[in-house]
Amino acid sequence: MSAFKKFTDIQFRDLGLLKAALSDLGFTTVEEGNQLPLYGYRGDQRAERGELVIRRQHLTRASNDLGFQKTKDGYIPVVSEYDTRVLLEGNFLARLRTAYNLRVVSRVTRQVHGTQTVKTEGNVIKVVVRY
Amino acid sequence: MPEIRFEIDQVTGELNTHVKGVQGKSCLDVQKLVEDLVGQAQETTHTAEFRQVAQVKPQGKIRQG
């Protein structure tokens, strides 16, 4: 049985951008609700709950549910140890943060009526917004 | 021309933001726009531009009496 971990240091403030970022990574089927229960890979209900949940059927064969719990600071990921290691070759959280932050940049660009110049140097995506 | 420079580290997903060419309070407005979406910055450094007060010219004349 894989334990769930709450990543309290990672917060996604905007639900719409979080859902868009998940969709960018291919996770298009998400459940939204209040205190939704999370289930393990054997269908066992766990103590953890979330306001946004991707059911294990939409992840890998041995995955557990993956959730996001609403807090005063935003949505924090609740991911099993197994999925932390396996999803997107173990890069799920970093890729999700990257996708979310790219969405943030697009939102800010629109709000300031700016134009973007994007380039990638090594592992760093650099975006300049002029307005 | 004001600009906002974003850097996203794909290894960690961390975002760094640098606001350039924006003076005083307007810089804080841009910063707030970003913080509303990503949370409070762990570290904020103000440049010399931030300490400059924007010069505002009155748009019309005021006639008295």
Give the Cα separation of B6 and A129 in Å (integer): 8
Structural domain of residue B43, as residue ranges? 3-51
- Contact with chain A for residue B55, Cβ under 8 A: no
Residue B58: pLDDT band with limits 50, 70, 90 = very low
Give the Cα separation of A31 and A105 in Å (integer): 26
| Whether pLDDT at B12 is above 80 | yes
**Model ipTM?**
0.92
Q: CB count, 10 Å around CB of A99? A: 21
Please write the tens of the pLDDT for every residue from A40-90.
999 999 999 999 999 999 999 999 999 999 999 999 999 999 999 999 999
Q: Which residues of A touch B39 (CB under 8 A)?
A: 11, 13, 73-74
Contact B15 A11 (CB under 8 A): no
What part of A 27-66 touches B (C-beta under 8 Å)? none
Do the domain assignments include residue B13? yes
Nearest chain A CA: its distance from B29 CA (Å) = 11
Estimate the share of chain A in helix, then strand, then coil, as percent rounded to the nearest 5: 35, 40, 30
Structural domain of residue A12, as residue ranges? 4-104
Residue B63: pLDDT band with limits 50, 70, 90 = very low
Query: Does residue A46 come out as left (phi exceeding 0), alpha (psi in the -120 to 50 range) or beta?
Result: beta
Give the Cα separation of B48 and A24 in Å (integer): 38
Do the domain assignments include residue A127? no
Contact B8 A111 (CB under 8 A): no
Do the domain assignments include residue A113? no
| Whether pLDDT at A15 is above 80 | yes
Do the domain assignments include residue B57? no
Q: Which helix (H) or strand (E) holds B17?
A: strand B15-20
Number of domains in chain A: 1
Q: Which residues of A touch B11 (CB under 8 A)?
A: 94, 123
Q: What is the mean pLDDT of chain A?
A: 96
Question: What are A115's two structure tokens?
Answer: 């134009």
pTM, to two decimals: 0.88
Number of domains in chain B: 1
- Contact with chain A for residue B2, Cβ under 8 A: yes
